[in-house]
Structure 1
Amino acid sequence: MKIAIFTDTFYPDINGVARTLKHFTNYLEKQNISYKVFAPNSDSNEYISTNIRRFKSWSFFLYPECRLALPNIFRMKAELEAFSPDIIHVATPFNMGLCGIYLSKKLSIPLVGSYHTDFDYYLQFYDLQFLSSILWKYMKWFHKPFKKIFVPSHETLTQLTRHGFANLEIWPHGVDCELFHPYYDQESVREKRSITKKYLLTFVGRLAPEKDVKTLMSVANALPAEVSKQVQWLIVGDGPLRDEMQAQSSSNMIFTGYITGTELAEIYSASDVFVFPSPTETFGNVVIEALASGTPAITANSGGVKNIIKHGETGFLCETGNAAEFKDAIINLINNDSLRKQIGREARDYALTQNWDTIFDHLLWQYQAVLEGTTIQKFA
């Protein structure tokens, strides 16, 4: 099987879509499966591969990590014909995705797609709710040609079904439990990051309105003084609200900027609690990374995260935007060592069941079903 992937974001971009697709292409390489990625150029020249065709681009205002490309459609068509894929997978609904749809029709190549980002939920964080009906009309039109639309959670499947989407299939995301685990030297991590307080609370994500960092700051400020003085916050990520957050933060909050790989895994492992109030996740990659690291997660009871967190077992689900609930959950965990450790063990055990290879094996079977015009058992 030869697979062509059209996406508006790819490694080394730092976001869930880019990271998921990089895991997928790593898997394809291990399986000796031919693939070609058509993607915008990157600000970094860190990753160059003959399997990737890059195009000039600029940042999308709602999601700067997703870029709008300026592809040469004739050159793209020639490259695609030369590669001769069996199937096209479109991962994003912007320029590159539109090219994938057009070329699929033009060259009669079977088309599938994946839905990763809840842009409709983003609108309310930018006071653009009036665009909601237009957005949904566009998204339905965009996804209509797909033989299958892969979604990362049951929550997203329910949402898209409600809006009239068809051919939906669950494609959950996995986690690398060899990279993310609880067994790093936590003392050296604390020393490296100048963590001197008893408890380390961590947030990982883009510092932007749709991640509800406003609630995160409210939670930090709501902790009682006797608790706050025992707590160190580590804010991993960057974005348009970083300066504002730093201006509002107290001395027990450290901002690291973006961190990836082993360095990020060490931080998860050294953390006592992972706090993530974002309500807009279709899955929640950073949440399952924290769980794999044996770190209990306190998250918003919204989006795909609801399908990862078992309340009271692998973490706690709090009402979206309710800083008091998040505060109480934090206090409960840091005041109860046995509960925190038990939830950490349960979290790790759950993450171990979310194996990328098994998930990608199933995706390839779904591709094959599209090519053969058959159906297979749905992913649980």
Structure 2
Amino acid sequence: MTKNNTHIAYFCPSLSWGGLEMNQLRNAEWMHNRGHKVVILLQKGSRIHQEASANGISVDFVQPHKKYFDFGKAAQLIKKIKQHNITHLIVRDPKDMSVCSLAKSWSKKKFFLAYFMEMQIGIPKRDLLHTIRYSSFDLWSCPLPWLKKQVKELTRFPSEKTLVIPSGLSLDRYFNAPERQEAKTLLDLDTNKEYIGLVGRFDEQKRQLLLLESFNQIKDKIHHDLVFLGESTHGESDAYFDKLKEYVRENKIEKRVHFRPFRPDVETFYSAIDVFVMATKSETFGMVTIEAMAAGCKVVGSNQGGTVEILNHGEFGELFETGNAEDLSNKLMVSIANQDFDANAVKDEARKYDAEIVCNKVETALGI
């Protein structure tokens, strides 16, 4: 199938704006830039609608649907597929799998249905209902090998249709980030100090408090300060952020801990820090870990989820016992003291997640 007769639809009726929605948009943009005809099926007025329109990506509107057995919305989706002459439909949210499966089963127009996995499988889904639903899919793409293993163990989806294709990033901006001293100046940080850093929304799942506790244990043994880049989730309470600031005040570490608002040039943050921490309990993939590696940071990450494979079981960073502040403290000390750290080797490892490589794999998997 050539680019001229390929039309890829990215199904994303979510009103949220997180990693899943960003990945749908990012991949749509990449395929558009590579000459494919692309449309995003989304809710009118959603954040992804705004972002797609700003970036010149074609959109069409769909209504929110029930998680299961929404026959009416499946029929409406079939009309959209016929209207746009869709050849490939891409799904990333597991909540969208049912309605897309129904559309594939009923549609007289044949199209390729692909699920690009963004979330772990929580419980076994080897029952008849899930097996029938999944049978409509032509491809199940997993960003890391451990997730492919989950698919094999927890579903009956055919292994020959299950592939590992990493979630990609445009990495040039991280490879070419500002020099460290300049980055520190841009972040209004002391250029004479080194920093441990964490980027992400202020949320219990990101475990900024765990890092604060670990830092407090070793603050008198190291010269590094601690810096956070992020903000509270839009529309939600600042209670967790307030809790972090209260901990800083109670432990009298205001001069050693710095909070900076999120900024679009996140590569500047990575360039300013020496050690990056991924403290989340179990990140399915962990884009920020790859960003930090591409910027040449030392990385200390939780020993669960995708971080383990991204760091190749400790070859490209330190792994600490998830949720254990003392072990995180110890691994921070090891990372800081590591005189043999090879930033170029870490950058080279990050290159396999570059968008160009990932897009080639996606095109091969989709047969386009």
Please give the range of the TM-score, normalised by the shorter of the 2 chains: 0.7 to 0.9
Per the TM alignment, residue 171 of structure 1 is displaced from its structure 2 partner at its CA by: 1.3
8 Å CA contact 1:174, 1:356 repeated in 2: yes
Please list, as runs of the form range in 1=range in 2, the aligned pairs for 1:24-173 lying within 5 A after superposition.
Answer: 24-40=27-43, 41-43=45-47, 45-48=50-53, 49=56, 51-55=58-62, 76-94=77-95, 96-107=96-107, 108-118=110-120, 120=122, 143-167=134-158, 168-173=162-167
Per the TM alignment, residue 292 of structure 1 is displaced from its structure 2 partner at its CA by: 0.3
Letter in 1 for 2:210: T
C-alpha distance in 2, partners of 1:137/1:290?
42
8 Å CA contact 1:206, 1:237 repeated in 2: yes
Sort the Cα spacing of 1:46 and 1:175 in 2 relative to 1 into closer, same or farther, 3 A. closer
Per the TM alignment, residue 153 of structure 1 is displaced from its structure 2 partner at its CA by: 0.6
C-alpha distance in 1, partners of 2:136/2:81?
19
Letter in 2 for 1:172: P
- Tell me the TM-score normalized by structure 1: 0.78
Sort the Cα spacing of 1:187 and 1:14 in 2 relative to 1 into closer, same or farther, 3 A. farther
SS in 1 for 2:111: coil
C-alpha distance in 2, partners of 1:149/1:243?
41
C-alpha distance in 1, partners of 2:133/2:276?
36
SS in 2 for 1:79: helix
C-alpha distance in 2, partners of 1:243/1:143?
44
C-alpha distance in 2, partners of 1:136/1:257?
46
Letter in 2 for 1:255: F
- Tell me the TM-score normalized by structure 2: 0.80
Sort the Cα spacing of 1:18 and 1:221 in 2 relative to 1 into closer, same or farther, 3 A. same
Q: Which residue of 2 aligns with 1:2?
A: 7
Letter in 1 for 2:360: D
Sort the Cα spacing of 1:6 and 1:183 in 2 relative to 1 into closer, same or farther, 3 A. closer
C-alpha distance in 2, partners of 1:291/1:224?
25
Per the TM alignment, residue 344 of structure 1 is displaced from its structure 2 partner at its CA by: 2.2
Sort the Cα spacing of 1:287 and 1:141 in 2 relative to 1 into closer, same or farther, 3 A. farther
Sort the Cα spacing of 1:235 and 1:221 in 2 relative to 1 into closer, same or farther, 3 A. farther
Sort the Cα spacing of 1:174 and 1:134 in 2 relative to 1 into closer, same or farther, 3 A. closer
C-alpha distance in 2, partners of 1:105/1:332?
54
C-alpha distance in 1, partners of 2:316/2:150?
24
What's the CA shift string for 1:229-249, capped at 9, x where partnerless? 631322335336333223323
Sort the Cα spacing of 1:77 and 1:347 in 2 relative to 1 into closer, same or farther, 3 A. same
Per the TM alignment, residue 285 of structure 1 is displaced from its structure 2 partner at its CA by: 0.7
8 Å CA contact 2:299, 2:318 repeated in 1: yes
8 Å CA contact 1:153, 1:283 repeated in 2: yes
Letter in 2 for 1:209: E
Q: Which residue of 2 aligns with 1:211?
A: 206
Q: Give unmatched runs, 5+ long, in structure 1.
A: 61-70, 121-131, 370-380
8 Å CA contact 1:313, 1:346 repeated in 2: no
Q: Which residue of 2 aligns with 1:359?
A: 358
Letter in 2 for 1:105: S
Q: Which residue of 2 aligns with 1:199?
A: 194
C-alpha distance in 1, partners of 2:130/2:220?
47
Q: Identity, % of aligned pairs?
A: 17
Per the TM alignment, residue 326 of structure 1 is displaced from its structure 2 partner at its CA by: 1.6
Q: Which residue of 1 aligns with 2:21?
A: 18
1:177 to 171, 174, 178: 171
8 Å CA contact 1:150, 1:171 repeated in 2: yes
8 Å CA contact 1:88, 1:112 repeated in 2: yes
Sort the Cα spacing of 1:305 and 1:29 in 2 relative to 1 into closer, same or farther, 3 A. same
Letter in 1 for 2:204: P
Q: Which residue of 1 aligns with 2:257?
A: 253
C-alpha distance in 1, partners of 2:27/2:156?
25
Count, aligned residues:
339
8 Å CA contact 1:118, 1:281 repeated in 2: no
C-alpha distance in 1, partners of 2:127/2:297?
36
SS in 2 for 1:254: strand
C-alpha distance in 1, partners of 2:313/2:121?
26
8 Å CA contact 1:211, 1:280 repeated in 2: no
Larger-gyration structure (1/2): 2
Structure 1 stretch 180-189 or stretch 48-57: which is displaced more? 48-57
8 Å CA contact 1:6, 1:90 repeated in 2: yes
Per the TM alignment, residue 276 of structure 1 is displaced from its structure 2 partner at its CA by: 0.6
C-alpha distance in 2, partners of 1:134/1:310?
28
C-alpha distance in 1, partners of 2:274/2:176?
11
Q: Which residue of 1 aligns with 2:232?
A: 238
Per the TM alignment, residue 183 of structure 1 is displaced from its structure 2 partner at its CA by: 4.4
Letter in 2 for 1:154: P
Per the TM alignment, residue 348 of structure 1 is displaced from its structure 2 partner at its CA by: 0.8
C-alpha distance in 1, partners of 2:226/2:93?
37
